[in-house]
Amino acid sequence: MVRHAMIALALTAQAAVAQEAERDQFFADYATYDSFVTETVEAKDFATFVTRLGGRGTYAEGQLDALRTQFLNIYAGDFTGNTTFQEDLGGGVTREGRVFWTEDEKLLFYAATLLERNGTITILTFNMGADPAEILDRF
């Protein structure tokens, strides 16, 4: 009986993770996506940012922690502003770039390829980093 309960609990946990992963990369609309990106970057919530945009399973937990530490060391100051630029590739596909800056003038670059269908936004690719060439060369 206990064994069956443990198996059921494990399956329930796996189902919850699968449902969460199913929502990754998808946003109800552009405003929801825009708010998510801005709020998680400004909050320096790197793990949520990466996993929600489609990076779940890309990094082991320890790797995410190491990247978060690196991110926080580079961007110690608060983010105070950002700008967004876009390129329409046609067929509902948009390439988007963002630059965030901190109070101590550190720049964070972000690029994503988005697919819009019936108002829903799907993240096809994304990249983030401190090197502008890695992001801006995509445009």
Whether residue 115 is contained in a domain is answered as yes
Is residue 14 situated within a structural domain?
no
What is the separation, in whole angstroms, between the first and last Cα of the chain? Answer: 59
Match 């405003």 to its residue by tokens. 31
DSSP, residue by residue, 81-108: EEEEEEEEEETTEEEEEEEEEETT--EE
SS3 124: strand
Number of domains into which the chain is organized: 1
- Say if 67 falls within a structural domain: yes
CATH for 94: 3.10.450
* Within-domain flag for 5: no
**pTM of the prediction?**
0.78
Residues 47, 64: contact at Cβ < 8 Å? yes
The answer to whether residue 129 sits within a structural domain is: yes
pLDDT 10s digits, 75-108:
999 999 999 999 999 999 999 999 999 999 999 9
Q: Are 42 and 71 in contact (CB under 8 A)?
A: no
Residue 41 lies in a domain: yes
**Residue 9 included in any domain:** no
* Range(s) of the domain holding residue 107: 24-136
- Tokens coding 29: 């609309």
Q: Which residue has the higher pLDDT, 127 or 5?
A: 127
Q: Give the per-residue pLDDT at 1.
A: 55
